Amino acid sequence: MKKISILILYLTYSLLLFGANVQKIKSTEDQIVIQFYLEDYKIRYDNEFAFISSDNCYFPGEPGEPMLPVIEFSFALPENGRYDYYVKPGKSESITLSKPIAPLPKIIPDEETSKYVYEINREKYSKFLAAELITTKDPILWRHFILGTIFIHPFKYVNGKLQVQKEFQLTINIKGNKEKKFSYEKSEFENVYKNVLINYDIGKNWMIKCDKQVPSSPFACADRWFKIPITQDGIYEITKNQLKNAGIFVDDLDPQTIRIFNAGGYCLDKDYNYQELELKEIPIYITGEADGSFDNSDVIYFYARDTDGWEVNKEYGLYYNPYTSDNIYWLTYNTSFADPPKRIEINQTTSTSSDSADSYLHTEHFEENNINEDGEDFYWYWTTLYNNNSYNYNFNVDKIDNSKEQQITVRVQPKASNAQVKLYVNNILTANVTLSSSASEINCVIDNMKEGNNTLRIEIFNKDIYLDYYEIEYYRTYDAEHKALKFTLPETNQVFEIALKNVDETKFNLFKVYDFDNVKRITDYQRVGNNITFVDSIGDDDYNYWAVSNGAYLTPSQIVEDNLSDLRTNISAVDMIIITPEEFYNQSEELAQFHREYNDIIVKTIKLQDVYDEFSWGLIDPIAIRNYMKYIKSYYNGELVDYLLLVGDGSVDFRNYSGELRNANKIPPFQKATVVSDDYFVYLTQASEPEIMIGRLPCQTTDELQIIIDKIINYHLDPEFGFWKDRVLFVADDNFKQGKYSYNEMMHTTQAETGTNMLSHFFEMNKIYGIEYPLDEFLNKPLARRDVITTFNDGIILFYYIGHGGYDLLGDEEYFRASRDISQLHNGNKLAYFVAASCDVGHFDAFTYESMAEMMLRVKDKGAIASFAATRGCSGESNTTLCNDMNKYIINNGYSLGNAIVSAKSENSGIAGNNRFYVLLGDPLTYLQFPHSYQFASAKDLDSLKARQTVSIHGSIDDSNYNDKTYIIVYDTNYAAEYVYQIGNVSYVYSYTKTGKPIYRGYVSDSLGNYTGTFIVPDDIYGGNQGKIIGYSINSNKTS
């Protein structure tokens, strides 16, 4: 007769600190001693490669490098400390492999998902086959600690043999000033510190305290500040009436106190080690200010530039600012600055001339931004130019000097190699080139531009291309045509006499612009009628001149008073910062107040525009958020903020070039190259380990935000009780791509098995493995989809998918399609934490579709409490390393989502390049609401069960508050299963573990913490090994 041994579970948590491979033997101020032992590892042969796997390891590197497992741990160092180490060797072994080590795969888009392509990069591959046993990286500053990091490489592959270091002892000697520096009060980061730092017990005394003095803010020197948005380069004028309309009391205004400020219109530096832009006072010229009264005839003149141009956008290599067309100038008056207001000085011109100039080099840029097909980089293209077609672009040339050279530049991006491009200017062939697949600038020196209308014709052959932009350069005569004229001198370091034609006399001014904050006025010119003559020279820098008369001055579109915050000067203790657009402010405050009361923490709600105003000086630039966080770290002398929550969706179509967004870019994402990650906002002193726990609520409307906030608050304050809180679902992709064999991708199932083994056995592990389900005629697995939806609707605390995916899809076999299947969910308030170790499922920044991770959070009365998924294509092995460790901290240790994510990312910093793809869409201060731990004691004589046996269960709960009904589940034993499959003529057998099914579910009577119940064991038990019992009880007042 079949028999089951019974394991009685106690719902308590266990802590696994540094992985089963690393054991700390000794930790003092001077020395750390580590014993390393390698747990079981496996070698799997597939096609032409050998794959090695070992628990608690990850696979760093780039595609084409060998997949050799690495183990990492970190430790604290004293400030300015250093260390050395030595290794005492232990057991090792050598194994001959019949195939080479597999390379890290490329991730290639494949219809709706992605696929792996294994190709060896010979140059990189050989470098890493025989890495040193121990490697390190330079110490980094992470929050308040100096971190040293050790990487252990237990595997080498030399001459066809795998050399394995199974055991050794590592001694780390720490040097430096080890006096106690500072120790902060316990914070939400305490758990992270303990997980990441193997010597936290000692290192916590070496925490670094900020002792910098908070710098003064220019905004603190005046009571009133007015924004002036600028969208066009030129000389501006502001009249008394404009100031009055802005709300300034002009009758009492002393114009001598007026100041204007700007930071140059530059994009902020993406690198964490940035040089902050300075808000500089610019010189202005005010007519009639000497009398101390702003009269009706008085005018403010100043030079302002827009956000266009290669120089101001050099951080991105773009002509147009990727985020905004508005450069913000700030006007104020009656200030307390130490220096007097800055005024435009008179330029000291040269009295004699050695040469005269008839023309100057004039450049015009032509560009439109309409196409970004992959939606994953900053480059937008004008249009697609198709093979075997001809395209005409007309441009106007004005006052051309035909005696000098001309140039036209066309930038294109071929869709494939061998595209042929012919360029014609006014029907004359100027270029005939064949291009590679890389973006190319085609530069042509020509001589056939003409006054008036000109035509650029582009002919395309062989392959389609994208047109990016074209630029023309020609020499233009000094003729203002009674307009504003911007011009230069023809050469540097030479004195010229310049004759300007057709310059009106009324309100004429001649300015020399050195830079946005350095402008001078030329007054010693000679006028004869409408012609102006002056003499000047320029140095090596790129100066320009502006000649402006009445009717040619630009006027600001608006002057608006701004009620500035004091983010730069008011730095105080705070546990959580919520950054939100103004339209979401009141709702964000509702969430903030919940956290203040429920979690007893200090929360600040900050308007996004205030962050822009003080950290990008008014310009829209998402990097201002990172700069704000770093500013706090740099100048606050207490514990750094723990949590950062961004309220609002974002898209890489920052300027709505596509026309699709409808004002949906509430908090723009942080993008570097093609990667979008919210981690970039919290890389403050390095780019591998987040320093603040961050999340995002991806809402576009107040209604969407309210759905999310209601979910968060009700999840904690008014939870739906039930055994669903103790249930976890693992979904693993099968071993084929679209029903076909490419590589034997059993790793999805293996990774799921590893994930389940890492989690506490006090939870019910549900497994839906693709290998167990048949394909239909469409190469889908509808029965797996059915089981996914059914299990989700029954209620689960954690949903975890491992496999191929896309923004709308889990698996090519369609285990779940968000656009179709979310409507089939009805899990109500039984909200899951949705985790997808897969490509693109969290692609929240797309501008043409919504990602599954967003949809699961925004849907009302069902779906998820939060989502954790990747914004881009990513590596399968690294995905599950991160997600498995995160789940471990959440389920086994009860950490908040943010705490678990930062712990997992920080202790796996060697794969930071993959980790940062993963973003939390949800509140990082969310704690999954699984049952409180209690001891569930059963009768001592219940140690085994037999088929058809009548079993009486009785025992007690160690908390007398739980005196209502207790729900009991008795599980059959887990058992081994085999999956047999065939590739070609070869059969394979894959072994894995199936979860023992429940053999009894039901309530038992409960009185004052004592329970009793009876059931009959069914015939179809598997038996032979250890089963388990899990109990679930609700206290008398239904609060927990």
Confidence of residue 760 (pLDDT cuts 50, 70, 90): confident
Question: Percent of the chain having pLDDT more than 90?
Answer: 70
Q: With a cut of 70, say whether residue 72 has pLDDT above it.
A: yes
Backbone angles phi, psi at 273, to 5 degrees: -95, 60
Q: What is the pLDDT of residue 1037?
A: 57
- What distances in angstroms separate CA 100 from CA 15, 43, 60, 116, one per listed residue? 37, 11, 18, 18
Helix ranges (DSSP H) in 650-799 = 702-717, 747-758, 782-794
pLDDT tens digits for 882-909? 999 999 999 999 999 999 999 999 999 9
Which residues does 589 contact at the CB level (< 8 Å), separation at least 6? 605
- What distances in angstroms separate CA 656 from CA 284, 455, 959, one per listed residue? 34, 30, 58
Rg (CA), the chain: 34
Specify whether the CB–CB gap between 537 and 219 falls below 8 A: no
Q: What is the pLDDT of residue 5?
A: 46
pLDDT tens digits for 680-709? 999 999 999 999 999 999 999 999 999 999
Q: What is the pLDDT of residue 940?
A: 45
SS3 633: helix
**How many CA within 13 A on the CB side of residue 241?**
3
Backbone angles phi, psi at 496, to 5 degrees: -130, 150
SS3 575: coil
Distance from C-alpha of 144 to C-alpha of 190, rounded to nearest angstrom: 12
- What distances in angstroms separate CA 251 from CA 225, 241, 288, one per listed residue? 18, 11, 14
Sign of CA dihedral 499, 504, 508, 511: negative
Q: What angle do CA 250, 252, 254 make, to 5 degrees?
A: 85
Distance from C-alpha of 983 to C-alpha of 891, rounded to nearest angstrom: 38
Specify whether the CB–CB gap between 522 and 535 falls below 8 A: no
Q: With a cut of 60, say whether residue 556 has pLDDT above it.
A: yes
Q: What is the pLDDT of residue 885?
A: 95
Confidence of residue 742 (pLDDT cuts 50, 70, 90): low
Tokens at 289, concatenated: 């200010």
Confidence of residue 16 (pLDDT cuts 50, 70, 90): very low
Q: What is the mean pLDDT of the chain?
A: 90
Q: With a cut of 60, say whether residue 18 has pLDDT above it.
A: no
**pTM to 2 decimal places:** 0.94
* All domains in the chain, ordered by first residue: 38-203 (2.60.40.3800), 220-358+483-563 (no CATH), 364-476 (2.60.120.260)
SS3 784: helix
DSSP E strand boundaries for 61-112: 71-77, 82-89, 92-96, 106-110
Distance from C-alpha of 837 to C-alpha of 817, rounded to nearest angstrom: 16
Q: What is the pLDDT of residue 211?
A: 75
Q: What is the pLDDT of residue 962?
A: 58
Q: With a cut of 60, say whether residue 774 has pLDDT above it.
A: yes
Q: Which residue has the tokens 């050469």?
A: 491
Q: What is the pLDDT of residue 14?
A: 27
pLDDT tens digits for 377-417? 889 999 999 999 999 999 999 999 999 999 999 999 999 99
SS3 289: helix
Specify whether the CB–CB gap between 631 and 961 falls below 8 A: no
pLDDT tens digits for 114-144? 888 899 998 888 877 778 999 999 999 999 9
Query: How many other C-beta atoms are found inside a 10 Å radius of the C-beta of residue 679?
Result: 26
Backbone angles phi, psi at 7, to 5 degrees: -105, 120
Q: With a cut of 60, say whether residue 1008 has pLDDT above it.
A: yes
683 Cα distance to chain centroid: 10
* Pairing between β-strand 798-802 and β-strand 832-837 as defined by DSSP bridges: parallel
Which residues does 376 contact at the CB level (< 8 Å), separation at least 6? 652, 674, 676, 872
**How many CA within 13 A on the CB side of residue 79?**
12
Confidence of residue 12 (pLDDT cuts 50, 70, 90): very low
Helix pair angle (897-906, 876-893), 10° resolution: 130
Tokens at 1007, concatenated: 């009185």
Q: Which of 609-623, 695-709, 989-1003 has the lowest mean pLDDT?
A: 989-1003
The more confidently predicted of residues 411 and 1038 is: 411
